[in-house]
Amino acid sequence: MKIRNWSIFCFIAGYHLLLLALLPLFIRTFSWPAAALFLATYVIGGMSITTGYHRLYAHKSYIAHPVFEWVVLLGSTLALQWSARIWAHDHRLHHAHVDTDDDPYSIKKGLWYAHMGWLFTYQRVFQPKYVRDLDKNPRVVFQDRHYLPLAIGVNAGVFAIGCLFMHPLAAFYAGFLLRVFMIHHSTWFINSLAHVWGSRTFARELSAVDNAVLAFLTFGEGYHNYHHAFASDYRNGVRWYHFDPTKWLLWTASKIGIVKGLRAVNRIHLQRTLVKKDKKLLMPLLNQYWDDMTSEIQTKLDELEESFESRAQSLMNRLGELKTASKARRRFIKLEIRRLKGELRATWKAWLELTEFTVERYHLTRDGGHI
Ligand SMILES: [Zn+2]
Ligand SMILES: [Zn+2]
């Protein structure tokens, strides 16, 4: 690997070395306020990236009050990942060209490259068309223009506050070195491990995976396969029990009224998309693995897709009718909706069973070059 971005390399290598070199001194000066300082700055910095840089600026999955924007724009300087404008530019490129050479942190170039190697070699050709909307946001533009003084100011402020409650070395170690290390690696895990280690349910054709362990380390961003499939959804962990504190924070903020317009993919729409995607992926593969059951499976896939689609459409129509129907008719429509929901659930279950059976029977694995 040929290093091109020497200043970034020196900064990252430097703080890793300092982290090791100062560890014995930190252990001697450790105090509980130091642990609290680490935790507070880790959560504020990390969640400013996930709520702000990622879900607000890169994906526009909700609308935020300017006060909320200022909190995340300043809080994100604790993460030291450069400005929201640059971050969103690179991330939008990643989504638009995932797994190709135009993806700035493509996993195809290896785990190490996607994790942090790209930072040392990547020669950004800035394309303003990717951030036209952000260039109209004066807060984002301000943060981009004055990133360095803002970052120095916020980090120096945190250090000064830390010194009031603990040994200066502990404040520097826990409130800067360790915090930056932890936030950096958790963000980088999304580009590396979350494209390798986990399951692919929503977009089987992509390298991105869902992984609960990574979600725990990254404030909910580990459900990366879902995220690549439905990037504008404010949730990454789509089920209520998925560990996604970023989603919970945004939901709570929307109840308070400081953010609004949370975008969430409707469940029926989500399942419809998945059925279409699965079928498009499986049909040509089955032609390659022809045996005594292939045509039977293909017919079944056709039938199930058709019945899922027609039931989903009927359900959507009934839900639409409900809004304008008279009181007497509403009762009847509600019964119909209940029946259709039950049928749709059963069809969805049958679809999952059939596709899982097909994948297992023909060993259709992504590593084998397929799913
Ligand atoms: Zn990704
Ligand atoms: Zn994203």
* Per-residue 3-state assignment (H helix, E strand, C coil) for 82-138: CCHHHHHHHHHHHHHCCCCCCCCCCHHHCHHHHHHHHHHHCCCCCCHHHHCCHHHCH
* Distance from C-alpha of 87 to C-alpha of 128, rounded to nearest angstrom: 13
Q: 202 CA to middle of ligand 1, Å?
A: 13
| Nearest ligand to the C-alpha atom of residue 58 | 2
How much is the pLDDT for 117? Answer: 95
Q: 295 CA to middle of ligand 2, Å?
A: 38
The answer on pLDDT for 370 being more than 60 is no
Within-domain flag for 368: no
Answer yes or no: do 235 and 284 share one domain.
no
Q: 6 CA to middle of ligand 2, Å?
A: 27
**Residue 367: pLDDT band by 50, 70, 90 thresholds?**
very low
Is 51 in contact with 244 (CB distance < 8 Å)? no
Q: 187 CA to middle of ligand 1, Å?
A: 11
Answer yes or no: do 255 and 329 share one domain.
no
% residues pLDDT > 70 (the chain):
98
Answer yes or no: do 166 and 246 share one domain.
yes
Q: 109 CA to middle of ligand 1, Å?
A: 14
Q: 227 CA to middle of ligand 2, Å?
A: 6
96 to 92, 299, 359: CA distances (angstroms): 6, 34, 27
Residues 351-362 have a mean pLDDT of 88
Count of Cβ atoms closer than 10 Å to residue 125 Cβ: 7
Half-sphere exposure for 26 (CA within 13 Å, toward CB): 20
How much is the pLDDT for 361? Answer: 86
Domain range for 73 is: 6-260
* Distance from C-alpha of 288 to C-alpha of 291, rounded to nearest angstrom: 9
Answer yes or no: do 252 and 332 share one domain.
no
* Distance from C-alpha of 57 to C-alpha of 135, rounded to nearest angstrom: 11
Choose one of 260, 282, 299: the last residue of a domain.
260
Answer yes or no: do 172 and 305 share one domain.
no
Answer yes or no: do 118 and 12 share one domain.
yes
Residues 294-298 have a mean pLDDT of 91
| pLDDT one-digit tens code per residue, 127-146 | 999 999 999 999 999 999 99
| Nearest ligand to the C-alpha atom of residue 104 | 1
Q: 177 CA to middle of ligand 2, Å?
A: 26
Of the candidate ranges 103-107, 147-151, 281-285, 353-357, the one whose mean pLDDT is the lowest: 281-285
Answer yes or no: do 255 and 296 share one domain.
no
Of the candidate ranges 37-51, 143-157, 196-210, 244-258, the one whose mean pLDDT is the lowest: 196-210
How much is the pLDDT for 292? Answer: 84
Within-domain flag for 370: no
Answer yes or no: do 131 and 272 share one domain.
no
How much is the pLDDT for 226? Answer: 93
Is 275 in contact with 309 (CB distance < 8 Å)? yes
213 to 36, 217, 254: CA distances (angstroms): 23, 7, 27
Choose one of 204, 233, 260: the last residue of a domain.
260
Within-domain flag for 244: yes
Q: 346 CA to middle of ligand 1, Å?
A: 32
Would you say the C-alpha torsion 350, 356, 359, 363 has a positive or negative sign? Answer: negative
**Residue 313: pLDDT band by 50, 70, 90 thresholds?**
very high
Number of structural domains, the chain? 2
Alpha helices in the chain (DSSP H): 6-21, 23-29, 32-47, 66-75, 84-96, 111-112, 118-121, 138-145, 147-165, 168-172, 178-191, 212-217, 224-229, 245-256, 267-288, 294-322, 327-361
Q: 196 CA to middle of ligand 1, Å?
A: 10
The answer on pLDDT for 29 being more than 60 is yes
Q: 93 CA to middle of ligand 2, Å?
A: 10
| Nearest ligand to the C-alpha atom of residue 214 | 1
Within-domain flag for 295: yes
Lookup: tokens for 249: 């924070």
The answer on pLDDT for 183 being more than 90 is yes
Answer yes or no: do 353 and 249 share one domain.
no
The answer on pLDDT for 239 being more than 90 is no
| pLDDT one-digit tens code per residue, 76-100 | 999 999 999 999 999 999 999 999 9
The answer on pLDDT for 1 being more than 90 is no
**Residue 206: pLDDT band by 50, 70, 90 thresholds?**
confident
Within-domain flag for 83: yes
Residues 220-231 have a mean pLDDT of 94
Within-domain flag for 175: yes
Q: 245 CA to middle of ligand 1, Å?
A: 19
Q: 278 CA to middle of ligand 2, Å?
A: 22
* Distance from C-alpha of 63 to C-alpha of 126, rounded to nearest angstrom: 25
283 to 206, 222, 298: CA distances (angstroms): 17, 30, 7
| Nearest ligand to the C-alpha atom of residue 94 | 1
* Distance from C-alpha of 47 to C-alpha of 279, rounded to nearest angstrom: 37
Choose one of 201, 235, 260: the last residue of a domain.
260
How much is the pLDDT for 369? Answer: 40
Answer yes or no: do 209 and 158 share one domain.
yes
Nearest to 132 by CA among 142, 120, 140: 140
How much is the pLDDT for 293? Answer: 87
* Distance from C-alpha of 217 to C-alpha of 33, rounded to nearest angstrom: 22
| Nearest ligand to the C-alpha atom of residue 193 | 1
**Residue 328: pLDDT band by 50, 70, 90 thresholds?**
confident
Q: 228 CA to middle of ligand 2, Å?
A: 7
The answer on pLDDT for 238 being more than 90 is no
Task: Give the DSSP H or E segment for 64.
Answer: strand 63-64
| Nearest ligand to the C-alpha atom of residue 98 | 1
Q: 185 CA to middle of ligand 1, Å?
A: 15
Within-domain flag for 221: yes
| Nearest ligand to the C-alpha atom of residue 56 | 2
- What are the residues whose beta carbon lies below 5 Å from ligand 1 (ion)? 208
How much is the pLDDT for 365? Answer: 59
Q: 9 CA to middle of ligand 2, Å?
A: 25
Q: 48 CA to middle of ligand 2, Å?
A: 14
* Mean pLDDT taken over the chain: 93
Residues 98-111 have a mean pLDDT of 94
Answer yes or no: do 168 and 247 share one domain.
yes
